[in-house]
Amino acid sequence: MFTSPRGDYGDRLHKTAEAYIHYGGSIDADFEFLRPTLDVLKNSRGTCLTEHKMGVSHNGDALPWNSNERWFQGIADIVITSDSPIAKVLDFKTGDVRYADTDQLELMALLIFAHYPHVKYVKGRLLFVLSQQIRDRNVDIKEKDRLYQKYRERDARRLGAIEANNFPAKESGLCKKHCVVLTCPHNGRK
């Protein structure tokens, strides 16, 4: 499998954060700039979970990672929970902030609501480490039904496209340099 230099950097960053938060010790020089952030996370009130794997059924029940009954699943870089009804989720990003997609934080919030029923509010954050920018998306439990509907509709469109074998061309930020479909009118690699 091909891993880009930025992807390799991201993999090392995630492993460094997990090791530092759970075991302490040194931080690779490439990531020393993250030490203050990691210290705050490590010393947060409650439990700080790293690379936390969760799944959920189509009706919103918590399921183990990779359960055969899962509707969707996710791995949260950092989840902080306590007895409080507020949880935090953070995802480290090494990509370009122009392509920030907070849908990931909505999905993580749905997973957290399923796995931690006492949580009523999730503070979500995408931390773009290379550009030192942040994108937040906080989710209140009151949004849960609307968000489930949003992602059920999206999933239905995906399944419909698979069934009909119809995948209309749609431009994205990856078209110009990364798409392997050279016949697509949006492809910039032709």
pLDDT in tens, 86-137: 999 999 998 888 878 899 999 999 999 999 999 999 999 999 998 889 999 9
pLDDT in tens, 31-72: 999 999 999 999 999 999 999 999 999 999 999 999 999 999
pLDDT exceeds 60 at position 2:
no
pTM given for the model: 0.86
101 part of a folded domain: yes
Query: Which of 139 and 1 is assigned the larger pLDDT?
Result: 139
Whole-Å CA distances, 19 to 49, 111, 114, 154: 11, 24, 27, 36
Task: For residue 72, give the nearest of 135, 160, 136, 158 by alpha carbon.
Answer: 158
Structure confidence by residue, pLDDT tens digits, 72-85? 999 999 999 999 99
Domain annotation covers residue 184: no
Q: Is residue 185 part of a domain?
A: no
**Is 171 part of any domain?**
yes
63 with 57: CB under 8 angstroms?
Answer: yes
- Please check whether residue 71 lies inside any domain of the structure: yes
Is 79 inside any structural domain? yes
Q: Is residue 72 part of a domain?
A: yes
Q: Quote the pLDDT of residue 165.
A: 87
Count of the separate structural domains present in the chain: 1
* Domain span at 168: 5-178
Q: Provide the CATH number for the domain around residue 113.
A: 3.90.320
